[in-house]
């Protein structure tokens, strides 16, 4: 069963409570937790979704803003498929340029590959002469809330087993207000340990 | 939602218990965005824009808000970024060489300019600055790191705030606190690690 935001914020507040310290505002704690959920999901890729993305004739490069406007709220793309195949993923933009130095305006009969540039651009190679579509699998940009009362009964999007990562990141950020550097470093180490880093 | 610079400064002020100097914090935020855009291996913010080519002009200003060109395309090709020294070694009179096939460019970070090699002997066609089929190959298209103060993704807000706080609390002032500044840097390292694209090392 998914964990709700309100009780998880309460847990965060209990963890960082400091006698004689300055209390953390519940709305700010809600914002910290839900931003931390986005950050955790960027690493864990736990919350994924898929959907069709309509492409434009002769266009290879799309912005993430265009993806979001096309109902693809993505932190990053995981896979791209057409009706008959899974497209190849060039992990690095330079690899696409090495494969085809003229890729920038390449036009073909079907999509062959895709790659990302930073977190702002998505490239489909080659372009097609007419409008078309691909199906994208993506790491979802989870929702951020800033109002504790409104979000109280809303479920976190991360699966239960990953909520602790988001909670720990939120804890690290909240601990900055405690001005206890050693505690902060300890909390950072706890998160890194989760990833074996 | 997405953050603006003002909202990140408020966010940072809350994390720093309001002990920071808000004017100085704003200056440090600008420094952080520039630092990340110019030096960071995995830049936080990128954008793209067309640049108009004028026949007989080799040097152009970076697009507004650009800090560093990452990729520059022209005539369907990715141009090679070279240093002045490399171009001088290749062509001793490269600054005076004109042509219709552009191969390379150099960047001048102090003047926020870049120079094409060879100097174009043609101009962009009006209306050709599109990424779709009406693109005209006489335009330059650039992807660059951006000096951004709005539309900042939520997930970037904490690391920008912590980078800014680290600078503010290292400064020689009443609120100076090196231990806290170091802790902020540790948090930044954690957030950079979490937000590094999983496919990158």
Give SS3 for B102: coil
Residue A186 forms contact with B (CB below 8 Å)? no
Asked which of A170-174, A179-183, B25-29, B68-72 is least confident by mean pLDDT, the reply is A179-183
H/E run at residue A64: helix A64-69
Say what the pLDDT of residue B133 is: 66
pLDDT in tens, B151-190: 899 999 999 999 999 999 887 777 788 888 999 999 999 9
pTM of the model: 0.88
- Mean pLDDT computed over B51-70: 93
Residue B40 forms contact with A (CB below 8 Å)? no
d(CA B133, CA A106): 11
pLDDT above 70 coverage of chain B, percent? 97
Task: Report the mean per-residue pLDDT for chain B.
Answer: 88
Instruction: Considering only the C-alpha atoms of chain B, give the largest distance between any 2 of them, rounded to a whole number of Å.
Output: 60
Which residues of A, range 2-21, sit inside 8 Å of B by Cβ?
none
- On the question of pLDDT at A166 being above 70, the answer is yes
In chain B, alpha helices (H): 5-15, 22-39, 84-90, 157-170, 178-195
Say how many Å lie between the first and final Cα of chain B, rounded: 29
Task: Report the mean per-residue pLDDT for chain A.
Answer: 90
- pLDDT category at B74 given cuts 50, 70, 90 is confident
- On the question of pLDDT at A20 being above 80, the answer is no
pLDDT in tens, A118-136: 888 999 999 999 999 999 9
Hey, are the CB atoms on B155 and A75 less than 8 Å from each other?
yes
Residues on chain B touching A43 (C-beta within 8 angstroms): 193-195, 198
Hey, are the CB atoms on A59 and B154 less than 8 Å from each other?
no
Hey, are the CB atoms on A116 and B1 less than 8 Å from each other?
no
- On the question of pLDDT at A105 being above 90, the answer is no
pLDDT in tens, B118-145: 999 999 988 777 777 667 778 898 999 9
pLDDT in tens, B4-13: 999 999 999 9
Hey, are the CB atoms on A105 and B137 less than 8 Å from each other?
yes
The closest alpha carbon to A5, from A34, A40, A25, A32, belongs to A34
pLDDT above 90 coverage of chain A, percent? 59
- On the question of pLDDT at A37 being above 50, the answer is yes
Asked which of A38-42, A177-181, B27-31, B112-116 is least confident by mean pLDDT, the reply is A177-181
- On the question of pLDDT at A55 being above 80, the answer is yes
- Mean pLDDT computed over A53-63: 90
Burial A63-89 (b: 16+ CB within 10 A, else e): bbebbeebebbbbbbbebeeeeeebeb
CA distances from A88 to A94, A114, B71, B145 (A): 15, 6, 22, 26
Say what the pLDDT of residue A4 is: 96
Hey, are the CB atoms on B46 and A102 less than 8 Å from each other?
no
Residue of B nearest to A104 (CA): B76
Say what the pLDDT of residue A67 is: 87
Query: Do residues B97 and B91 touch, judged by C-beta distance below 8 A?
Result: yes
How, if at all, do strands B113-117 and B152-153 pair?
unpaired
Say what the pLDDT of residue B201 is: 39
Q: Which residue has the tokens 């966010």?
A: B11
Query: Do residues A75 and A42 touch, judged by C-beta distance below 8 A?
Result: yes
């Amino acid at each position: 069963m998914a964990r709700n935001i309100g009780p998880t914020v309460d847990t965060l507040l209990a963890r960082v409570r400091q006698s004689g310290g300055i209390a953390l505002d519940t709305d700010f704690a809600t914002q910290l937790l839900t931003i931390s959920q986005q950050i955790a999901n960027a690493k864990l890729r736990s919350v994924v979704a898929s959907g069709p993305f309509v492409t434009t004739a002769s266009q290879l490069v799309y912005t993430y803003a265009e993806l979001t406007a096309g109902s693809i709220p993505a932190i990053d793309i995981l896979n791209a498929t057409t009706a008959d195949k899974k497209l190849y993923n060039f992990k690095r933009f330079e690899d696409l340029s090495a494969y085809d130095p003229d890729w920038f305006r390449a036009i073909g009969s079907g999509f062959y590959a895709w790659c990302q540039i930073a977190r702002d651009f998505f490239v489909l190679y080659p372009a097609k002469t007419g409008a078309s579509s691909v199906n994208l699998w993506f790491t979802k940009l989870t929702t951020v809330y800033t109002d504790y009362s409104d979000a109280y009964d809303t479920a976190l999007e991360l699966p239960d087993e990953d909520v602790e990562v988001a909670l720990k990141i939120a804890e690290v950020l909240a601990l900055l207000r405690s001005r206890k550097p050693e505690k902060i470093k300890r909390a950072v180490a706890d998160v890194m340990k989760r990833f074996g880093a | 939602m997405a953050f603006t610079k003002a909202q990140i400064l408020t966010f940072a002020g809350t994390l720093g218990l309001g002990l920071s100097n808000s004017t100085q914090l704003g200056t440090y935020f600008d420094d952080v965005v520039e630092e990340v855009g110019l030096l960071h291996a995995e830049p936080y913010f990128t954008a793209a824009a067309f640049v108009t080519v004028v026949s007989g002009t080799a040097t152009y200003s970076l697009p507004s808000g650009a800090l560093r060109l990452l990729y520059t395309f022209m005539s369907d090709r990715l141009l090679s970024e070279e240093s002045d020294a490399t171009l001088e070694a290749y062509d001793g009179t490269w600054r005076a060489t004109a042509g219709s096939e552009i191969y390379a460019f150099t960047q001048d970070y102090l003047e926020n300019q870049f120079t094409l090699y060879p100097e174009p002997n043609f101009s962009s066609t009006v209306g050709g600055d599109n990424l779709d089929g009406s693109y005209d190959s006489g335009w330059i298209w650039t992807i660059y790191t951006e000096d951004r103060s709005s539309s900042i993704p939520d997930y970037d807000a904490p690391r920008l705030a912590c980078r800014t706080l680290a600078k503010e609390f290292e400064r020689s002032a009443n609120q100076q606190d090196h231990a806290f500044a170091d802790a902020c840097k540790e948090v930044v390292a954690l957030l950079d690690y979490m937000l590094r694209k999983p496919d990158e090392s």
